[in-house]
């Protein structure tokens, strides 16, 4: 009988987001433009020669380890709480190094896809993936545009992961253009902060529309219900980390209530630097749409960028502002 993972949290992660493969990638990228055949051959030879050499952590490793630990709470007969699928553009042959490292670390990952240079995005739905983490902007953009699941581009690994717990997993989400759609942020960008505050206060009883990571947040909230210690002491902690502040905060809280989503912590920062609060919260992953928030944070916590859809009006507004400077 086919396995159904619809009730599980399924994370699809590229090999380059799970492990640090930057050295092999440099070999490939240095020649791929001018001499593709040589680049592929040198990359293949490098991976075969080093297939038994250990790999360092990628940005997504702490998140994956903490999520896999949640399966110790699974009840007999239930679907897994979490499944992780490794998605790689390696061929099966050159992917042996990745598989060897998974075994060396005793990671409970049994599913993978190796597509020999082809995009693996088309297989996310088949794998029931709820979140796809990658280092490829092209792949992340394709997922965002297709709306098949949540997706983000991981930043480089932080300086240290030693402060992150493995018996609890912590998510931190930006609000507008991540959990919620970009309509309110468009008001901010085009009409200014006073108009934004007025709009949000006036419409506080009207739920915000869903953004690219709304379904992921809802799925995490459902997974919380399967775990012990619900609610305050759940092994999954969810936080909203937003530049919104009063009087724009009530619409966020009321929207989450209308979705029947419980968020453990919410920070309405009103322009204060998010990295200061993220360093204290210690998330296993922080999602935001703006590099101005991600870059200061990524040195201390694993961080990932949520792209705008290609046809996004907000994307065009921001790009226009940048080009006019």
Q: Is the pLDDT of residue 230 over 80?
A: no
The pLDDT score that the predictor gives to residue 159 is 86
Instruction: Return the active site residues.
Output: 174
Q: In what order do the strands lie in the sheet with 82-88?
A: 111-114, 82-88, 9-14, 131-134, 150-154, 303-305, 285-288, 169-173, 236-242, 265-268
pLDDT tens-place string over residues 95-131:
899 999 999 999 999 999 999 888 889 999 999 999 9
Q: Is the peptide bond before 247 cis (omega within 30 degrees of 0)?
A: yes
Q: Is the pLDDT of residue 91 over 80?
A: yes
The pLDDT score that the predictor gives to residue 96 is 93
Say which residues have a Cβ less than 8 Å from residue 280's Cβ, sequence separation at least 6.
Answer: none
The C-alpha angle with vertex 15 and arms to 12 and 20, in degrees rounded to 5, equals: 130
First to last CA, the chain: 59
Which tokens hold the place of 22? 């930057």
Which range (21-30, 56-65, 274-283) has the least confidence?
Answer: 21-30
The pLDDT score that the predictor gives to residue 48 is 87
- Which residue segments constitute the domains of the chain, with CATH numbers given? 9-154 (3.40.50), 169-324 (3.40.50.1000)
Which tokens hold the place of 315? 């994307």
pLDDT tens-place string over residues 133-185:
999 999 999 999 999 999 999 999 998 877 788 889 999 999 999 999 999 99
| Nearest Cα to Cα of residue 49 among 102, 91, 97, 105 | 97
pLDDT tens-place string over residues 253-307:
999 999 999 999 999 999 999 999 999 999 999 999 999 999 999 999 999 999 9
Whole-prediction pTM value?
Answer: 0.93
């Amino acid at each position: 009988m086919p396995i159904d993972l619809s009730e599980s949290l399924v994370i699809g992660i590229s090999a380059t987001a799970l492990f640090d493969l930057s050295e092999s990638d440099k070999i490939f990228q240095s020649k791929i433009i001018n001499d593709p055949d040589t680049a592929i051959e040198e990359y293949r030879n490098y991976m075969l020669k080093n297939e038994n050499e250990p790999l360092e952590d990628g940005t997504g490793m702490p998140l994956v380890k903490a999520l896999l630990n949640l399966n110790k709470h699974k009840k007999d007969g239930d679907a897994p709480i979490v499944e992780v699928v490794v998605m790689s553009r390696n061929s099966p042959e050159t992917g042996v190094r990745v598989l060897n490292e998974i075994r060396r670390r005793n990671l409970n990952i049994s599913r993978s896809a190796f597509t020999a240079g082809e995009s693996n995005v088309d297989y996310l739905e088949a794998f029931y993936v709820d979140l796809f983490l990658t280092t490829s902007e092209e792949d992340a953009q394709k997922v965002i545009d297709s709306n098949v699941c949540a997706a983000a581009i991981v930043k480089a690994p932080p300086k240290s992961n030693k402060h992150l717990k493995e018996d609890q997993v912590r998510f931190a989400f930006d609000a507008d253009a991540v959990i919620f759609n970009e309509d309110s942020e468009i008001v901010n960008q085009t009409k200014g902060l006073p108009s934004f505050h007025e709009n949000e206060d006036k419409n506080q009883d009207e739920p915000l529309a869903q953004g690219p990571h709304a379904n992921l947040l809802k799925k995490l909230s459902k997974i919380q219900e399967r775990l012990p210690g619900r609610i305050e002491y759940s092994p999954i902690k969810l936080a909203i980390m937003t530049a919104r502040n009063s009087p724009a905060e009530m619409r966020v809280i009321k929207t989450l209530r209308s979705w029947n989503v419980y968020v453990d912590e919410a920070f309405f920062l009103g322009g204060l630097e998010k990295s200061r609060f993220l360093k204290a919260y210690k998330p296993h992953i922080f999602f935001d749409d703006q590099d101005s928030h991600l870059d200061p944070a990524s040195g201390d916590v694993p961080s990932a960028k949520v792209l705008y859809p290609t046809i996004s009006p907000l994307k065009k507004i921001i790009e226009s502002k940048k080009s006019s400077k």
